[in-house]
Amino acid sequence: MRRMFFKLAMALVFFAGSLAADVPGGRKSVEPCLSGFTIASAAGGNKWPALDLIGRQALADATDPLEAVLGFSVAQVPIVTAGLPLPPAASPEKPSLVPPDSAGQADMAAVISRLKEIFEKEGVPQKWVWIAEVESGFDPQAESPAGAAGLFQLMPATAERFGLNIAPYDDRLMPEKSASAAAQYLKHLRKEFGSWSLALAAYNAGEGRLKRIMNDYGARTFEDVSRYLPAETRDYVPRVLAIVAQREDQSSRLSGIPGAF
């Protein structure tokens, strides 16, 4: 078991490094890759404008599997591109996020598969494991100034709420335990708020804040609450949806390629 955990952690560290290699300044975060996505606010209202032509084309082949989970079209997500593309789609010539000649590619495929197994066991759609790419760049040792840590950037109170220890050793830094707690939390948020878009908003902004917004303004959908959310959360939800759509598209198209995600 300890050997398996070590391999899992090392594969994740390698993968996080491969993401950082393409990021200005070497930051272990995918945020710069998607920093061109911004919320488009309609003057005098909160209607969601469609993606521009580039965004539509980038997501065109990735939306169908996601529709059943989200309950709405990804093309309705209120984001526009500002000169920076989505992460490139994979192809047989470029099969995954990790370079084809990388020794860690097969290990990373196994990591993603294992994380998906954990999410499925907790009753959460497997595709939401890609939240870790937005949260930490798949760095299991990532820590934020606010106190969040691990693959899924769980705060101490949230981690303890779902059975993790913070001391003497921080379970949030253990990939499998972090994934299990994150999946349980997402399942709770989905049940509490009734949609995955609101669950994602609560995951980022905090369920207490989201409840207050919904109660104070009578808002019931992400479209309704988005105008009252912090800018970070308004950007976070479409960023996650775009990443999930892109990565799941890669996975489905490359499932027959050895070592691909």
Q: What secondary structure does DSSP assign to 131-144, as a single string? A: HHHHHHTT-TT-B-
Which pLDDT score is estimated for 128?
Answer: 96
d(CA 258, CA 196): 32
Query: What is the SS3 assignment for 167?
Result: coil
Looking at residue 142, what is its pLDDT? 94
The C-alpha atoms of residue 162 and residue 170 are separated, in whole angstroms, by 13
Identify the pLDDT of residue 227. 92
pLDDT score of 116:
96
pLDDT (0 to 100) of residue 14: 46
Look at phi and psi of residue 138 and say left if phi exceeds 0, alpha if psi is from -120 to 50, else beta.
left
Q: Which residue has the tokens 């529709």?
A: 67
Q: What is the pLDDT of residue 27?
A: 26
Q: Write the pLDDT tens digit of every residue in 17-30.
A: 444 433 323 323 33
Domain residue limits, the chain: 2-35+86-253
The reported pLDDT for the residue numbered 9 is: 54
Q: How far is CA 147 from the centre of its chain?
A: 19
End-to-end CA distance of the chain: 24
> pLDDT at position 251, please?
61
Rounded CA separation 138/107 (Å) = 13
The tally of CA atoms less than 13 A away on the side-chain side of residue 214 is 18
What pLDDT score does 70 carry? 46
Q: How far is CA 175 from the centre of its chain?
A: 15
pLDDT for 182 equals: 98
Round to whole Å and give the CA distance between 36 and 55.
11
**Residue 206: CB partners within 8 Å, gap ≥ 6?**
none
- The pLDDT of residue 115 is 96
Q: Which fold has domain 2-35+86-253?
A: Lysozyme (1.10.530)
Q: Mind telling me the catalytic residues? A: 135
| Residue numbers in the chain where pLDDT is lower than 50 | 2, 6, 13-15, 17-101, 254-261
